Amino acid sequence: MTWAEFQIRSFGFKRVQKWQKFLIREITYEVHCNRYIWGKKKPPKKNDFWPLDEKKNSLNDAHVSALEDAWKKYKDGKS
């Protein structure tokens, strides 16, 4: 199998996996929303309930800068 064939199969596999996750999310969301039928609270949005997009970095800028500052303090104290 060449690299191009592997890439094509890989993209197809990832697409099928994403579709299966989507279907599972739809089913679990409907089951979860059944609790809210007679209540006063509204169910959460689908993306808040189970996000499908994969975020690389879930930290905001303040957290990243705090981590960098702590790392610098650690490196300075270690020297």
Quick check: helix, strand or coil at residue 2?
Answer: coil
Contacts of 22 (CB under 8 A, 6+ apart): 52
Structure tokens at 58: 């879930």
Q: What are the residue ranges of helices labelled H in 1-79?
A: 3-33, 46-49, 61-78
Residue 60 DSSP code: -
pLDDT at position 48, please? 85
What domain count does the chain have? 1
* Residue 73: HSE in the Cβ half-sphere, 13 Å Cα cutoff: 6
pLDDT of 16 above 90: yes
| Whole-structure pTM value | 0.58
pLDDT of 58 above 80: no
Which residues form the domain of 44? 3-78
The amino acid sitting at 57 is N
pLDDT of 2 above 70: yes
pLDDT of 59 above 80: no
| pLDDT tier at 77, thresholds 50, 70, 90 | confident
